Amino acid sequence: MAVGEKAKINAAREALKLVEDKTTIGIGTGSTSSEFIKLLAEKARNEKLKIECVSTSSKSTLLAQSLGLEIVEFEEVEEIDLAVDGADQIDPQLNLVKGWGGGAIYQEKRVDYKAKKFVVIADEAKLVQKLHGNVPVEVEKEKAEEVMEEMDEMGALSAKFREQNGKKFVTDNGNYILDVEFREVKNPVELEQQLSKVDGVFENGVFTKNVFKAIIGTEDGVKVINKK
């Protein structure tokens, strides 16, 4: 088992305890979320649970469906009982940065913010004292260059297009991702709001709302951080 994999599984398994029958579950995107999806499918099958899932990305949808989970569209559900998603950075106040490895931040934020309970699962390496470094920003293609200039004015150290196989990465929504580098995010709430107001920004990877708790996996078990 790869280094850190056991910690991710431990976090996912702990989150699984929050799943109840006849509920709607938001399933996240990323390596730890994938472990949760696998365990969720096993639990639903073994216990014959009636659950439906709202997915945050095409990748998670494919995985969930391959394991027999029912996927429903975001627009089809009135409420989401529980969302379980990963993060790339988590600060002590449970502010998050998400989206380093993929381009699903728009759908992740819609699902995670709609949920009655939003639980973050991650390994210990994701804990930081201050959010810093890369903040992914999803931008409309035709306004991407203008947004890059705006990032300079907001104090970013740099902003560059995310690439995949030598080409600009394109999200499920047909947009680009800018990886915007900040030395330190002094006020996550303010930054999330500022980025959302920039013309051409579709969504950003700062998450400051609705987190119920963080479940941090370790090699030996888990530790839980509740929202203060």
Query: What tens digit of pLDDT does each residue of 122-143 get?
Result: 999 999 999 999 999 999 999 9
pLDDT recorded at residue 227 = 84
Burial class (CB in 10 A: 0-12, 13-18, 19+), 71: middle
pLDDT in tens, 39-68: 999 999 999 999 999 999 999 999 999 999
For residue 95, which of 112, 81, 115 has the smallest C-alpha distance? 112
Q: Give me the sheet containing 89-90, strands edge to edge.
A: 89-90, 96-97, 206-207
Domains (ranges, CATH) in the chain?
A: 5-128+208-220 (3.40.50.1360), 133-205 (3.30.70.260)
Catalytic residue among 108, 138, 150, 192: 108
pLDDT of 1: 55
146 is catalytic: no
The model carries a pTM of 0.94
CA distance 216 to 149: 37
